Structure 1
Amino acid sequence: MSEVVATGNDVRMAIYTRAFLGLMRRDFRVLSRELVPFVIRVAMNPLLFLFVFTYVMPHMSGGAGAMGPASQMAGVAGSGGFGTVLLPGLMAVAIMFSGIAAVALPLATEFGVTREIDDRVMCPLPVAAVAAEKIVFSAIQSVVAAALVFPLAYYIPSTPVHVRIDSWLFLIAVVILASLVAGALGLTIGTSVQPKQIGLIFGVVVVPITFLGCVYYPWAALGKDPHIHWLQIAVLVNPIVYMSEGLRAALTPSEHMAEWQILAMLVFFLALLTWVGMKGFARRVLS
């Protein structure tokens, strides 16, 4: 009897695996047709920010680099320079935006009037596994996005960008966890708002958490002024903080959080957002 049960479980897992990979192949085929828009979406914002703040402004005033926000942010960057602080931050933004766009935006269409989501949930997979596939697929896109942004953030700044990788294992762990968190955040957003409101979410939620996600400055810099020490504590509820600080710890000599704290909080947000997102996905599918 136990052998029959084991055989049945093996067959079920084989079916689930084939169905899961089938959904992945379908999504990759769609992405291959939209490769150019994907690259433009990922690279445009970091490219413009880098060009203005790390290339144009340092060349103004005879190359003094002492104008406006760029010089002020360079002051909190420490010995590594603003470009060094910015590189991991822009990689974190690319991971986050790519993860959210890969899940939340398609869900706005699939949960719309046409109910395209019904085609997906008809495959031989539990509803939770269909949601998990979306997170995994978006995480793959986020890894690619980070890889695309890295050379931009490394070569465009007019001042040297210092990269130091002490642990490849830690870097890989941060990139994978950050990419999964971004996908889970996209699933949570995509299942929490109505399709017609998805554009509003980017202005009301995504942009604020980006600017308060320690992308353009180290988290430790917020504690140097007693007037904004409260902000250093408040931003700890923002998952983007741990993406930025994790990549900063893995790639640069800039100030950063403790590595164990970064990994622990990324795992925490992954579990929390996945749970919330999957509950919302099941509710929307079955409604």
Structure 2
Amino acid sequence: MTDATARPVRSSPRPTGTPLRAFGALMLRDTRVLSRELLPFIVRVIMQPLLFLFVFTYLFPRMGGGNGMMMGGGSFATVLLPGLMAVAIMFTGIAAVALPLSTEFGVTREIDDRVMCPLPVYAVALEKICFSALQCIFAALLVLPLAYYIPSTPVLLHVSSWPVFVAVMILASLVSGALGLTIGASVQPRQIGLVFSIVVIPITFLGCVYYPWALLSHVRWLQIVVLANPIVYMSEGLRTALTPGMPHMPVLAVLAGLVGSLAVLGTIGVRNFLRRVIS
């Protein structure tokens, strides 16, 4: 007979804070993996800014015997620096999310190991964006010493507002991670190289990296079209914060563009990530 006085067996309560600890554990795991490849990461980040600064701000002025190209009331080096920081942010975010996802969604389905952790599946996607944002900030800061030592003409930097600089850096890094998530979750692994050719390179050259957005007023239709490009707001935001003497987009427009880009790309990226994981 069953003992009527026996108490029902209760499962032990789930410890509080488990999702937060799991999120932190994923971040620590990715940090440890990155620390083992720190040197290749640094080389990958600084190679493009190094070559651009060397050719356009050191070699060209010396070949021409002048003081360097001028644009928008300042030296080309001053114009170029915020754009190169934006490029470093964008390429780092894409490389940190899209390229690993192309492997994780491949034949081996390594993504299944990640989504088994005690986290909602969408939180795994958000962790990828957040961790890539940390890498993007580090990559952008690596460009600053290069701009100090390489150009033959001084780069005139002045942080007009630290809150704006910090906000732009964080938002731009999150947008880059969201862009990487969107690409990685939307494109088949074998097509990643094609995306770089037909998407990443064009939006870089049309992202106000090498010229201020205000100077596009001479080509009005293009000045309006490029507003759909998130790199425009990265470049202009850093130009606003670091080189306030140069023509730049209003701060509110920059912040609105970054927030809007983050909302759109984040939504698309997380939705496609969930679809790929469930399928």
What is the TM-score with the length of structure 1 in the denominator?
0.90
Q: 1:184 aligns with which of 163, 178, 181?
A: 178
Amino acid corresponding to residue 66 of structure 2 in structure 1: A
Q: Conserved in 1, the CA contact under 8 Å of 2:67 and 2:153?
A: no
Question: Aligned to 2:41, which of 38, 42, 55?
Answer: 38
Q: Name 2:227's counterpart in structure 1.
A: 236
Per the alignment, residue 197 of structure 2 pairs with 203
Q: Are 1:15 and 2:15 an aligned pair?
A: no
- Cα deviation, residue 150, structure 1: 1.3
The match for 1:3 is none
Contact residue 96 and residue 182 of structure 1 kept, 8 A: yes
**Counterpart of 1:93?**
87
Aligned partners of 1:131 and 1:278 also within 8 Å: yes
Q: Is the contact made by 1:47 and 1:152 (CA closer than 8 Å) also made in structure 2?
A: yes
Q: Which residue of 2 aligns with 1:111?
A: 105
8 Å Cα contact 2:57-2:153 kept in structure 1: yes
Contact persistence 1:143–1:179 (CA under 8 A): yes
Shift of 1:266: 0.4
Alignment of 1:1-287 (within 5 A): 11-12=15-16, 14-61=17-64, 63-64=65-66, 71=69, 74=70, 77-223=71-217, 225=218, 228-252=219-243, 253-287=245-279
Query: Which amino acid counterpart does residue 188 of structure 1 have in structure 2?
Result: T
Q: What is the CA distance between 1:115 and its match in structure 2?
A: 0.2
Q: CA separation in 2, counterparts of 1:80 and 1:64?
A: 14
Deviation at 1:263?
0.4
Shift of 1:78: 2.2
Instruction: Specify which structure has the higher proportion of helix.
Output: 1
Q: Structure 2: which 5+ runs fail to align? A: 1-12
- 8 Å CA contact 1:87–1:154 kept in 2: the answer is no
Q: Distance in 1 between matches of 2:32 and 2:135?
A: 13
Please tell me whether the aligned partners of residues 72 and 212 of structure 2 are also in contact (alpha carbons under 8 angstroms): no
Q: Distance in 1 between matches of 2:144 and 2:202?
A: 23
Per the TM alignment, residue 154 of structure 1 is displaced from its structure 2 partner at its CA by 3.0
Question: How many pairs are equivalent?
Answer: 266
Checking the alignment, whether the CA contact within 8 Å between 1:55 and 1:158 is kept in structure 2 is yes
Cα contact 2:49–2:143 (8 A) shared by 1: yes
- Whether the 8 Å CA contact 2:19–2:118 is kept in 1: the answer is yes
Task: Give the percent of matched residue pairs that are identical in Structure 1 and Structure 2.
Answer: 68
Higher mean C-alpha displacement, 134-143 vs 160-169: 160-169
Q: Which amino acid aligns with 2:264?
A: L
The 8 Å contact of residues 139 and 180 in structure 1, kept in 2 or not, is answered as: yes
Residues 239 and 266, structure 1, Cα contact 8 Å, conserved in 2: yes
Give the Cα–Cα distance (whole angstroms) in 1 for the partners of residues 34 and 264 of structure 2: 28
Aligned AA (2:273):
F
Task: Report how far residue 11 of structure 1 moved.
Answer: 4.3
Q: Report the 3-state secondary structure (helix = DSSP H, G, I; strand = E; otherwise coil) of the residue aligned with 1:222.
A: helix
Alpha-carbon distance in 2 for matches of 1:281, 1:165: 37
2: CA distance, partners of 1:47 / 1:266: 26
Normalising by structure 2, report the TM-score: 0.93
What are structure 1's unaligned runs of at least 5 residues? 1-7
Match in the other structure for 1:4: none
Larger radius of gyration: 2
1:207 and 1:65 mapped to 2: Cα distance?
29
Q: CA deviation at 1:188?
A: 0.2
Moved over 3 A (4+): none
